[in-house]
Chains A and B, each alone.
Chain A
Amino acid sequence: MRFNKKDYTQLENALIKAYREKEKPQVSEQWAMNVMQHIRNLGALPFKTSPFKLFEQFGWRFAPAVCVLIVLLTFWMVKLDFAPEDEMAIFSIEHPIEASYVEMPGL
């Protein structure tokens, strides 16, 4: 039997319809119990809490508080008028001997 494009399209549609109307396989309650039994036999998952993972999950929650803290500290530092170079200069003038033993970071 030869069949043309139209016939083939009809066949295709019938096959697609048949595929989509397939019945769902049925399982018993025993099946679900067996699966859970299998899973219980496997035991708990080997989950290790790494600090990085914890940070990834929970760290971002503290972001607003950290931002507020940075703003407050900056404000406090500005208000304090703290300048490390000046402090070191005063220290070296007032205590020249001790100052010679102090290693100044970054210098």
Chain B
Amino acid sequence: MSEQEQSDQSNNALAISEELLEILRCPKAVQSEEYGSDPGRLRLVKNSWLVSDDSGYKYPIRDGIPVMLIEEGEKWKDVPEDELPVPPPAS
């Protein structure tokens, strides 16, 4: 875990539960066979975003609700992680 992630996660309670994070996947990457046996795993970034290293898609957590829609993840794909806004703006 990077220093940034450690810092992000130590500030507050997690934006989503660990149990949910464990089973959530990027809905785009999870359909692919390119990324090994468990595609689409997600990293919690800035305690406000779920990032798939497989697809590059980034999903906002708005008001504690992960918005796991492909078009939403695609919208933020090209935004560098350190420029992702906190809190994520309303859609």
A binds B: no
A contact set with B: CB distance below 8 Å: none
